[in-house]
Amino acid sequence: MKKLFIITSFLLLLGSTSFGQILQRKIVQNKSITATQAVKVSPTKNSSPQTPPPKPTDLQKADINLVSGENGKSSNTILTIEIYDSKQLKAAGYTDVGLTQQVEDDRVRGHIRYIQFVPIFEPGAEVSLSAQLDASEIIAVELNGIVPYSITRNARFSDFANGGSISISINPKTWYPLIGPDTWKINSFTVYLSFDNDPTSPHKMTWNGFTLSLTTLTRTLKFDKNFNPIQ
């Protein structure tokens, strides 16, 4: 009887130990599964808005206004005006060269004739001129076969970050024989620069009077980064 009790107790102890180990193993497995599930993070979408590209600030217009002095400018004086940015790249310009005017209009016969002319600025006259924009800012260089060529753009507001300059020059109508130029006094000279998406445009700059002649063919006017004329 005692022997039977010992055997029964041993079997009960063995069964309890095996069951406890199995139960413990299941608990550990469940904990592992629970831990794995807990670290799962659902992906979230990036809700921060993208920064829009900056608006273009290309030079749109370059207008010139000048007042002639008491002697004016004759047709023997060729005027050239060039506007440069901070890097001394041409942004816009005007020239008397190549201007034409219509002298004959016979549309019935399909005959319209033009001749070149040089404008005359009367003494004391106020004259308004429109400069032609010049795409001289290089943005890329590509190859056409083996020949490189530059891709350019118009000047922008940022190209005048350190100011700019304006060259005003006169030349005779012909050098041989010498015809012109006049001694021409300009009482005032004003430039208006207008940029795209620039609420402060146009930027008006006015310089005091100066004189151009055969001995002083060129005058350079400068302005600072705030488009203030430097006298």
- State the pTM of this model: 0.73
Cβ distance 70 to 91 under 8 Å? Answer: no
Residue 135, classed as helix, strand or coil, is coil
Q: What pLDDT shows up at residue 12? A: 47
Categorise residue 10: left if φ over 0, alpha if ψ from -120 to 50, beta otherwise.
Answer: alpha
Nearest to 178 by CA among 149, 214, 138: 214
pLDDT value for 199? 95
pLDDT tens digits along 3-45: 444 444 544 444 444 444 444 444 444 444 444 454 555 555 5
Largest CA distance in the chain: 150
Q: For 106, list phi and psi in degrees, rounded to 5.
A: -110, 80
User: Residue 152 has which token pair?
Assistant: 């350019």
Residue with tokens 């490189």: 148
Domain extents in the chain: 59-230
Compute CA 64 distance to the chain's CA centroid, rounded to the nearest angstrom. Answer: 21
Report DSSP state, residue 197.
T
Q: Residue 204, CB half-sphere, CA atoms under 13 Å: how many? A: 4
| Other CB atoms within 10 Å distance of the CB of residue 83 | 25
- Whole-angstrom CA distances from 200 to 51, 64, 204 are 24, 18, 10
20: helix, strand or coil? helix
Residue 141: the pLDDT is 85
Report pLDDT for 169.
96
Tell me the fold of 59-230: Lipoxygenase-1 (2.60.60)
pLDDT of residue 14: 44
User: Which residues of the chain fall short of a pLDDT of 50?
Assistant: 1-8, 10-36, 38
- pLDDT, residue 191, reads 98
